């Protein structure tokens, strides 16, 4: 990348927005000018970038004029509202919402897995659901070792998936409960302190909630396996910012050798194998927090199936699950230009 770009962040004041600013600095993203956009309510806030104050502006269509790269992290309705203006301005748009993910005309990309889905003229790219990204970082590399027949996933999802307000609710409610006060749910329908619950998205006619269905559909699209058999159970746990998952993968013929699996995963960019049986050291969300890598461990044969393996993963929901993946998408697309 020899050029510097005019960059905009839509949703700059959220939990993912803060990670964008940090990643632009640590990854030396080639920024000429930075525009921070948010709702009317957040306009006027001042955020720090490279030690300097940047004032947040209210998002309008005109705010995207002259922007080369726009990162959207403001929900589906904002994405639908502002994508046309940003694209018309000529920007490369990476959208973190669900608005365009299943649009056949829009690539849905995890760069380590399917960067080839981005065509030469694509300017709008969808960033996948956080649980889908984290699961696929561990599962996709296994395709080198055998054809995947079926995936069964149970998640342990953190508060950050619901944004800064849900993280705050977890901390404040836990403080109140420890002080002997009753749990008073505000953002969430359920008490969250020392509790967990089935993901609070609506249940569809198949009995799956919205989060589970996203993981199912998006995984099929990203892997290019529209018939992939996949069962997902999404559960919110009282953890702040990294998602964990218990994953079983069934292969068509036979399960790959465990050492081959460890080698392939260890060689996969963005994956770190943490699988120390002797010392009982495996992935934890606390170890994954602030870590670019998705941690994978508990790699073992599934004793209940002749050609299946199980594993346990933890990945930072705000990084690889959101901001980091989006920045990597932009970096890769800009590098190809």
Residues that bind a second copy (CB under 8 A): 150-152, 154, 156, 170-171, 174-175, 178, 183, 189-191, 194-198, 200, 202-203, 206-209, 216, 229-231, 233, 235, 237-240, 244, 246, 248, 258, 277-278, 280, 282-286, 297-305, 308, 310, 312
Verify whether residue 234 is a known catalytic residue.
Answer: no
Residue (118 or 215) nearer to a second copy, CB:
215
Give least dist CB 102 to a second copy, A. Answer: 16
| Annotated active-site residue in 3, 4, 130, 234 | 130
| Annotated active-site residue in 206, 243, 254, 305 | 243
SS3 string of the chain?
A: CCCCEEEEEECCCCHHHHHHHHHHHHCCCCEEEEEEEECHHHCCCEEEECCEEEECEECCHHHHCCCCEEEECCCHHHHHHHHHHHHHCCCEEEECCCCCCCCCCCCECCHHHHHHHCCCCCCEEECCCHHHHHHHHHHHHHHHCCCEEEEEEEEEECHHHHCHHHHHHHHHHHHHHHCCCCCCCCCCCCCCCCCCEECCCCECCCCCEHHHHHHHHHHHHHHCCCCCEEEEECEECCCCCEEEEEEEEEECCCCCCHHHHHHHHHCCCCEEECCECCCCECCCHHHHCCCCCEEEEEEEECCCCCCEEEEEEEEECCHHHHHHHHHHHHHHHHHHC
Verify whether residue 243 is a known catalytic residue.
Answer: yes
Give least dist CB 273 to a second copy, A. Answer: 14
Give least dist CB 240 to a second copy, A. Answer: 5
Residue (45 or 301) nearer to a second copy, CB:
301
Give least dist CB 310 to a second copy, A. Answer: 6
Residue (269 or 306) nearer to a second copy, CB:
306
Residue (111 or 238) nearer to a second copy, CB:
238
Give least dist CB 296 to a second copy, A. Answer: 12
Residue (109 or 288) nearer to a second copy, CB:
288
Mind telling me the catalytic residues? 130, 243
């Amino acid at each position: 990348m020899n050029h510097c770009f005019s960059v905009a962040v839509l949703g700059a004041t959220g939990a993912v927005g803060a990670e964008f600013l940090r990643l632009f600095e640590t990854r030396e993203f080639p920024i000429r000018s930075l525009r921070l956009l948010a709702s009317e309510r957040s306009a006027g806030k001042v955020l720090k970038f490279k030690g300097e104050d940047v004032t947040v502006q209210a998002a309008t269509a005109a705010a995207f004029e002259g922007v080369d790269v726009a990162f959207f992290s403001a929900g589906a309705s904002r994405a639908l509202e502002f994508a046309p203006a940003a694209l018309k301005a000529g920007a490369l748009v990476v959208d973190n919402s669900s608005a365009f993910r299943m649009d056949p005309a829009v690539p849905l990309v995890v760069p380590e897995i399917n960067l080839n889905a981005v065509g030469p003229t694509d300017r709008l790219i969808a960033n996948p659901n956080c649980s889908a990204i984290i699961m696929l970082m561990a599962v996709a590399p296994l395709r080198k070792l055998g054809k995947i027949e079926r995936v069964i996933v149970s998640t342990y999802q953190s508060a950050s998936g619901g944004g800064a307000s849900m993280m705050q609710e977890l901390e404040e409610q836990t403080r109140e409960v420890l002080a002997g006060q009753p749990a008073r749910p505000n953002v969430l329908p359920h008490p969250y302190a020392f509790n967990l619950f089935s993901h609070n998205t609506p249940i569809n006619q198949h009995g799956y909630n919205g989060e589970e269905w996203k993981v199912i559909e998006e995984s099929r699209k990203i892997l290019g396996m529209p018939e992939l058999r996949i069962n997902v159970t999404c559960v919110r746990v009282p953890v702040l910012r990294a998602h964990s998952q218990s994953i079983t993968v069934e292969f068509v013929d036979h399960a790959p050798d465990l050492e081959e699996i460890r080698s392939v995963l260890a060689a996969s960019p963005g994956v770190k194998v943490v699988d120390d049986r002797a010392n009982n050291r495996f992935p934890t969300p606390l170890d994954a927090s602030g870590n670019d890598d998705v941690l994978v461990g508990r790699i073992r044969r599934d004793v209940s199936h002749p050609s299946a393996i199980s594993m346990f993963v933890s990945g930072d929901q705000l990084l690889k699950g959101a901001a980091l993946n989006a920045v990597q998408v932009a970096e890769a697309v800009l590098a190809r230009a």
